[in-house]
Amino acid sequence: MMDLPYQKDLPVHLLAGCFNNTSATYKFYWFLALLGRVEIGETTIQKRDLFAEMVAHAWYTVNYFKVSFGKQDKLQAAIDQIKVLEQLTIDADRRLIFQHLVASENKQTLRELRYFNGEVPHRFLSPWFRAADSQAAYAASQALENQCLYALYTKHIEINPTWIGYLKQHAGILRQFCYWNLAVYLQAKNPNVPDIPSKLIKTPIRKTLTEQRKFWDIVVGELGGVDCIYTNRKLLIGDYAVEHFLPYAFVSHDLIWNLIPADRTFNNSKSDKLPPFEKYFKPYFELQRSALEIIQHKAPKNKFLEDYLTIIPDLSLFDELRIYEQLQPMATIARNNGFEMLLT
């Protein structure tokens, strides 16, 4: 567990306790929003800006990676509504989402944002004083009782001056602390979803698959071409895409066992859809088995051979049933989390 930097004149232990007994994601995203505004010099912060930041911060995790926040979590529900209301794309930039929401005049969008006013601003301060009674919490916060983090007002909050320097100086550590706690919380909600921490922030640039392509070039060259498992078109070196069999948005890795050559045009249309296993698993497996045999023979020290060991304990155990038993449950979980099936 991460510890926050100590400062003798501040009740840092109370800040550290803000994420105890959390039943929704609101506090995590509220604090991330608050930190961001303080970092750019704001100390009097409009609540609407913070609610818009909450939505923007959670946008990619909900829409792209389809991580579940839990059935009772209204932030996920608000994002689903706002995406339609404001006609925003699932991969929209966080700054664009924020700017769009603070300028929106859509009454339903504003209603979705206002919901959080009754849930998070006063409850976040519960380590400092009894915050269940919002009216009492507002009064206590305005008196800055127990050196609480901020004072609450109808439409804005004011950061306690004694905390401003600490928040700015340790913003990076505080953000990591928040994300660590958020990852723990979401992993409990999504026990079978891999790599939750990497799904909390939109990666600016996806890694290229240049090295993985070299792996498959050896295979394609040795076989004189391979057939795309989706379109049956013959694929040659330089004329194929390296595609994720299970969506990258679900697995969030580029391990070679989940990568295969595919028709470029089809790969673009497949996007993050799931392949029906009854039709595509067997050809996928046959292609992977051929690749494994060829690379073991032609390039036995190829680093990507180690990728297979993440789903089987020994390369000699690479058989159809074992691989199916590894991948099929992943596909089911992805489907249950909202990933669409590829239409055939």
- In whole angstroms, give the CA distance from residue 252 to residue 80: 22
pLDDT higher for 195 or 203?
195
What's the whole-number mean pLDDT along residues 115-127? 95
Banded model confidence at residue 150, pLDDT cuts 50, 70, 90: very high
| pLDDT on residue 1 | 56
Quick one: what percent of the chain has pLDDT higher than 90? Answer: 75
What's the whole-number mean pLDDT along residues 58-85? 92
What's the whole-number mean pLDDT along residues 81-92? 88
C-beta separation of 199 from 67 below 8 A: yes
User: 3-state class of 261 per DSSP?
Assistant: strand
What's the whole-number mean pLDDT along residues 71-100? 89
3-state percent helix, strand, coil for the chain, nearest multiple of 5: 60, 5, 35
Does the structure show a pLDDT above 60 at 122? yes
Does the structure show a pLDDT above 80 at 75? yes
C-beta separation of 258 from 251 below 8 A: yes
User: 3-state class of 178 per DSSP?
Assistant: helix
C-beta separation of 46 from 208 below 8 A: no
Structure-block tokens of residue 126: 């519960």
- In whole angstroms, give the CA distance from residue 197 to residue 126: 26
Banded model confidence at residue 257, pLDDT cuts 50, 70, 90: very high
- In whole angstroms, give the CA distance from residue 33 to residue 27: 10
C-beta separation of 167 from 4 below 8 A: no
Does the structure show a pLDDT above 70 at 205? no
| pLDDT on residue 339 | 85
> Which residues neighbour 319 within 8 Å (Cβ) at sequence distance 6 or greater?
none
Structure-block tokens of residue 139: 């009064």
> Which residues neighbour 136 within 8 Å (Cβ) at sequence distance 6 or greater?
129, 130
- pTM, rounded to two decimals: 0.73
